Amino acid sequence: MVVAAGLPFLAQPAARKGRLRQAVARWCFRNWSIEELARNAAALGIEGIDLIGPEDWPVVKKYGLVPSLAPGGGTIADGLNRKENHDKIEGELRRNIELAAAAGVPNVITFSGNRRGLSDQEGLENCVAGLNRIKAFAEEKGVTVCLELLNSKVDHKDYQADRTAWGVEVVRRVNSPRVKLVYDIYHMQIMEGDIIRTLRENIQWIAHIHTAGNPGRNEIDETQELNYRAIARAIADLGFQGFVAHEFVPRRDPLESLRQAVEIFTV
């Protein structure tokens, strides 16, 4: 990632345009301080910052932004698909849901974990059991637990929640308004494609959406294979009320790349 020396802050925070609430993932812009990221995001009309902990929430809120997706419980490799992880993950989720609720943070993230030889059916049943342990608490606190869909082909070998249908079946069985999916367009393009149809058929199970260009996980412009403008319109037409968070790693000037992504999703 290339960042120009002395990158200036943008000026005044911009009002949101369009029908979608946009956010940006912190880890993709590590060469900016959290202060720089929050100020630049606010000036672009972005409303949320993804994947930041409580230590960064005051800075983000200072610029009128929301910590849109916070740490929850488990890790990508060690998640809810194994019962021996449930006590630990439940404890993490309870602590982080409590913090999120007190700070007005809408979502926390969790993961299926890697298969390590576990069948998809057993992993699914274990994830349902683990999420059932936390759903009443999440409902009480008004915080959504988001199970993330990731690809197991390129980035996260052996990850179990690697197909939309599998993730949808988990949250359908849990049957809680506070247990839904993070639908990551980049990851699901790698695994199955058919993005717009999949969103249309499953939007009720999705609380949060991530973007990135494929191949490469870079800008969402004409250098990659997805028509993100059409995807943005489809999401907006569905009346989606959650955040669409940009989770790409910029190869060019990060400010211009982020500005372009916001423009693409301003529909």
Taking the domains of the chain in order of start, what are their residue ranges?
38-264
Q: Over pLDDT 70: what percentage of the chain?
A: 94
What are 216-248's pLDDT values in tens digits? 999 999 999 999 999 999 999 999 999 999 999
Mean pLDDT score, 50-68: 97
Q: Does domain 38-264 have CATH number 3.20.20.150?
A: yes
Helix/strand/coil (H, E, C) string of 97-140? HHHHHHHCCCEEEECCCECCCCCHHHHHHHHHHHHHCCHHHHHH
User: Phi, psi at residue 71, to the nearest 5°?
Assistant: -55, 140
Residue 13, pLDDT > 90, answer: no
Given pLDDT bands bounded at 50, 70 and 90, which one contains residue 17? confident
Q: Give residue 8's pLDDT.
A: 43
The least confident of 2-11, 36-45, 142-151, 258-267 is: 2-11
Q: Give residue 22's pLDDT.
A: 98
Question: Mean pLDDT for the chain?
Answer: 95
- Pairing type for strands 179-184 and 66-73 reads unpaired
Q: Give residue 219's pLDDT.
A: 98
Whole-number Å distance between alpha carbons of 166 and 252: 36
What are 165-210's pLDDT values in tens digits? 999 999 999 999 999 999 999 999 999 999 999 999 999 999 999 9
- Counting other chains too, the contacts that 84-90 makes at CB distance below 8 Å and 24 or more residues apart are 85/113, 85/130, 86/126, 86/129, 86/130, 86/133, 89/130, 90/130, 90/133, 90/134
- Say if residues 208 and 182 touch (Cβ distance below 8 Å): yes
> Chain centroid to CA 75: how far?
14
